[in-house]
Amino acid sequence: MNTLFLSLLILPLMTDQPATTTRFTPRELPYAYDALAPAISEETMRYHHDKHYTGYVNKLNELILDTPFAQMPLEDIVMQADGALFNNAAQTWNHEFFFDQLSPTAQNEPSGALMDAIREQFGSFDHFKAEFDKACTALFGSGWVWLAEDKSGRLAIVSEQNAGNPLRRGLKPLMTVDVWEHAYYIDYRNRRADAVAAIWPIIDWKVVEQRYEKK
């Protein structure tokens, strides 16, 4: 009888345990896994989202346990952490930002103030794309290429290796392309330039404009 009583007391504690150790949860894609094909295949999206991104989220939850970062917002962790904790927090943030800007029904060009800023900074939208493509193919190893804005409103193309994020430079990220091999290798093998070229039609500039306009 005593053993049964103790078991009943312990069981609720065991059931509740995961809720105390899981801070961040992987976000669902805002579209079906196959919605971005042929630019990005269903197979790539399943590996990219379910394995790589979800792995970063799970590792982040593990690393923040019993640390001052345990209750911080994700962006604050990205800004303050170092080492493995930064890598997993930034990769979580970067992937969510990347997935959210893609759409099977994308607005293919910026408009309004953002288009004006791109033309002022780069001469034309096509020239901006060419410069961005060049940065993507030139980045050695794995990383991210970003369109970002500084505090004066000036736009810049920023290349970051590994989990790098322009937030750490005091910049406001607007758009990014993931040039880690796991983002494209299934579909394009070593043809990074082809993968980058294929992604332009699925970047939703309506989302990017909303980020640009947000203060």
Tens-binned pLDDT, residue by residue, of the chain (215 aa): 444 433 433 333 333 333 345 799 999 999 999 999 999 999 999 999 999 999 999 999 999 999 999 999 999 999 999 999 999 999 999 999 999 999 999 999 999 999 999 999 999 999 999 999 999 999 999 999 999 999 999 999 999 999 999 999 999 999 999 999 999 999 999 999 999 999 999 999 999 999 999 98
Enclosing domain of residue 123: 112-213
Cβ-proximal residues to 12 (8 Å cutoff; 6+ apart), any chain: none
| Distant-in-sequence contacts of 154-159, Cβ < 8 A, 24+ apart | 154/121, 155/117, 155/118, 155/121, 155/122, 156/121, 157/128, 157/131, 157/132, 159/135
Number of domains in the chain: 1
CB 166 within 8 A of CB 173: yes
Whether residue 160 lies inside any domain: the answer is yes
Enter the tokens of residue 153. Answer: 């409103």
Task: Specify if 54 maps to a domain.
Answer: no
Q: What is the CATH number of the domain that holds 117?
A: 3.55.40.20
Could you tell me if residue 22 is inside a domain? no
Q: What whole-number distance in Å separates Cα of residue 90 and Cα of residue 93?
A: 5
What pLDDT was estimated at residue 21? 52
Q: Could you tell me if residue 83 is inside a domain?
A: no
Q: Would 104 be classed as within a structural domain?
A: no
**Position 95 in a domain:** no
pTM: 0.90
User: Has residue 209 been placed in a domain?
Assistant: yes
- Three-state SS string over 15-63 comes to HHHHHHHCCCCCCCCCCCCCCCCCCCCHHHHHHHHHHHHHHHHHHHHHH
In a domain, 85, yes or no: no
